[in-house]
Amino acid sequence: MKVKPDNYIALEFLSRSANEGFARTATAAFAAQLDPTLDELGDIKTAVSEAVTNAIVHAYPDALGKISLRASIFDGNLLEIVVRDWGCGIADVDRAREPLYTTGGEERSGMGFTIMESFMDSLSVRSRQGKGTVVTMKRRISQRAGRK
Amino acid sequence: MEVRTKTTERELTIGLRGELDHHSAREVVTAMERAADAALPSSLVMDFGGVTFMDSSGIAVVMRAERRMCALGGSLVLVNVPQQARRVFDAAGISAHVRMEGPPDQA
Ligand SMILES: Nc1ncnc2c1ncn2[C@@H]1O[C@H](COP(=O)(O)OP(=O)(O)OP(=O)(O)O)[C@@H](O)[C@H]1O
Ligand SMILES: [Mg+2]
């Protein structure tokens, strides 16, 4: 049975680079209800920026396409972020997740997945060539003393 | 993103202000290359003091600056790197081989 989230937001936007800032800021604003630390908030923004930028840069290299982002809260303090595109897909996901692996030339560093992995508690990448990619990241937000 | 360049002697300082992501990286690279072409600096200082957000796009910018200074036989230093950007550099393993310092006057 699927567990229902305590709360969620769902966004859909076009793969324009101007939406990178919007996506990470909107997610951070949603995550604020968990009272994260500044480091936690920075990590979440960075991970979202990496996933969304990948969809913009790699999924739709020569076109504009649809990207969806869903952020959910489960179990009081577990933040789950799902970024989905319907673009070209990834031929070899294990290889793509390796540090420094990039098909983006010198404008990219090949560190996006490595950063998502180190900033979030878990990262899963499902992809089918020609169909698209779904990136799911989870991070449990610390429960600080002094919170209600 | 606001990019300010300043050259004194053969030291080129690039001051960045705002969010450094894929959307803004190209204008930073263009400004940096243009200033480096003009100044042929022996030292490049990238001032991150005004950077309010940075993702892996910033890593590619720094790696490019590093290659450029290597070709010129000069040095690269990043100053005033805020905590969020610092965590990104650390996660990417960049901090180990790029010089980072506090404010220039404290170094
Ligand atoms: N949504 C996606 N659709 C298609 N290919 C993707 C997608 N996300 C990642 N990739 C592929 O995986 C590779 C590695 O991604 P990763 O984010 O780690 O590095 P990068 O985007 O190339 O560089 P960086 O993120 O450091 O700027 C990409 O170069 C691309 O080939
Ligand atoms: Mg990437």
Q: Contacts of residue A20 in chain B, CB cutoff 8 Å? A: 21-23
Q: Give residue B96's pLDDT.
A: 87
* Sheet strands side by side (includes B2-8): B2-8, B11-20, B43-54, B75-79, B99-101
User: Which pLDDT score, from 0 to 100, does residue B107 have?
Assistant: 38
Could you say which of B23, B56, B84 has the minimum Cβ distance to residue A109? B56
Is residue A144's pLDDT more than 90?
no
Q: What is the pTM of this model?
A: 0.95
Distance between B55 CA and the closest CA of chain A, angstroms = 6
Mean pLDDT, rounded, of chain A: 96
Q: What is the pLDDT of residue B37?
A: 93
- Residues B1, B30: Cα–Cα separation, whole Å: 13
Task: Sort strands B43-54 and B75-79 into parallel, antiparallel or unpaired.
Answer: parallel
CB-based contact A113:A133 (threshold 8 Å): no
> pLDDT of A50-100, one tens digit each?
999 999 999 999 999 999 999 999 999 999 999 999 999 999 999 999 999
Identify the pLDDT of residue A147: 56
The answer to whether residue A148 is domain-embedded is no
Distance (angstroms) between ligand 2 centre and the Cα of B41 equals: 31
Q: Which of B1, B26, B57 to mutate to test the interface with A (most CBs of A within 10 A)?
A: B57
pLDDT at A116 over 50: yes
Q: A65 with A87: CB under 8 angstroms?
A: yes
Percent of chain A whose predicted confidence (pLDDT) is above 70: 97
Question: Hey, which residues does A124 pair with through a beta bridge?
Answer: A136
Select from A45, A57, A118 the Cβ nearest to the Cβ of B91. A118
Count of residues making up chain A: 148
In a domain, A87, yes or no: yes
Cα–Cα distances in angstroms (integers) from residue B53 to residues A5, A68, B1, B87, in the given order = 29, 22, 10, 11
Percent of chain A as helix, strand, coil, to the nearest 5: 35, 30, 35
Comparing CA positions, the residue from A110, A103, A71 lying closest to residue A87 is A103
**What pLDDT does residue B47 have?**
98
Reported as a pLDDT band with limits 50, 70 and 90, residue A146 is low
CA distances from B93 to A106, A113, A130, B68 (A): 18, 14, 33, 20
Task: Please check whether residue A105 lies inside any domain of the structure.
Answer: yes
pLDDT value, residue B106:
44
Mutation target vs B (from A46, A52, A101, A106; most B CBs, 10 A cutoff): A46
Residue A130: HSE in the Cβ half-sphere, 13 Å Cα cutoff: 0
The list of chain B residues with pLDDT below 70 reads: 103-107
Q: Is the pLDDT of residue A38 over 70?
A: yes
In a domain, A146, yes or no: no
Is any Cβ of chain B less than 8 angstroms from the Cβ of A46? yes
How far is A11 from A71, CA to CA, in rounded Å?
9
Domain membership flag for residue A2: no
Task: List Cβ neighbours of A94 (8 Å cut-off, separation of 6 or more).
Answer: none
What range does the domain containing A72 cover?
7-140
Confirm if A125 and A96 have CB atoms less than 8 A apart.
yes
Q: For residue A1, tell me if it sits in a domain.
A: no
Q: Which domains does chain B have, with CATH numbers?
A: 2-106 (3.30.750.24)
Instruction: Say which CATH number the domain at A104 has.
Output: 3.30.565.10
Does residue A13 lie in a domain region?
yes
Pocket of ligand 1 contains residue A50 by CB under 6 Å: yes
Question: Cα separations (Å) of B85 from A27, A132, A141, B73, B89?
Answer: 18, 30, 20, 26, 6
Residue A70: which H helix or E strand, with range? strand A66-74
Q: Is residue A65 included in any domain, yes or no? A: yes
ipTM: 0.93
- CA dist., res. A16 & res. B21, Å (int): 13
Distances (CA, A) of A47 to A14, A27, A117, B47, B88: 19, 10, 8, 24, 10
Q: What span, in angstroms and rounded, lies between the C-alpha atoms of A125 and A90?
A: 9
Summarize the confidence of residues A110-119 as an average pLDDT: 98
- The tally of domains found in chain A comes to 1
Band of residue A36 on the pLDDT scale cut at 50, 70, 90 = very high
